[in-house]
Amino acid sequence: MSHAVGSTSTSGTRTPDGLLNLGYIRTIPGLLQSGQLIALLVTFLCIHLARGWPSWYAFQFFEVVALWFFVALLVFFFIHIFSLNTRTPCINCPLTEFFHYCVGAVLVLIASIVGAVKAAGVSALVTATVFGFLTSFLMIVSLWTTYSVSCGTHQTGDLESHDFMTL
């Protein structure tokens, strides 16, 4: 009976002690998360520093949503940078990120729509809504890529079915 042994390698740049995986930043999910972090930071700062909110409750909701998902994305970003997703096998990181992107895309999109309606020409708030829509788009793209990893069909390696039949 023959056995095939496969090996995998990571293309990330690791520090000599193997603590950091800086190559993650250059991958498509890493670039998407970096873009989301920057867009959410700009969104939060524009809302927080704007004076004279036309609708206090709408922009307070928008500010809380932007800050919450910025912190959550920052946690996921550090999980990937420090390779904690491989060190803690009890947590299904792709599935957790999938649900995070589902909820995040919906809430940021709702907050952006409400912000666009209630901005009343305040340029900082209009900028915040534009970056909110950009974040929603990036989250939907990340949702699509995470879905293909966590819920999509997975192809397995070539199994030699005749090995099971031989004695």
> Which tens digits make up the pLDDT trace of 82-118?
988 888 778 788 888 889 999 999 999 999 999 999 9
Q: What are the sequence ranges of the domains in the chain?
A: 22-151
Residue among 113, 105, 144 at smallest CA distance from 130: 113
> Which tens digits make up the pLDDT trace of 135-159?
999 999 998 887 766 565 555 544 4
User: What count of Cα atoms within 13 Å lies in the side-chain half-sphere of residue 86?
Assistant: 9
pTM of the model: 0.75
pLDDT at 81 over 70: yes
Query: Would you state the structure tokens that stand for residue 41, as one six-digit string?
Result: 């930071």
Which residues lie closer than 8 Å to 33 by C-beta, 6 or more apart? 73, 76, 77, 80, 142
% of residues, the chain, pLDDT over 70:
77
C-alpha span between 139 and 35 (Å, rounded): 10
Lowest-confidence pick of 38-52, 71-85, 109-123, 141-155:
141-155
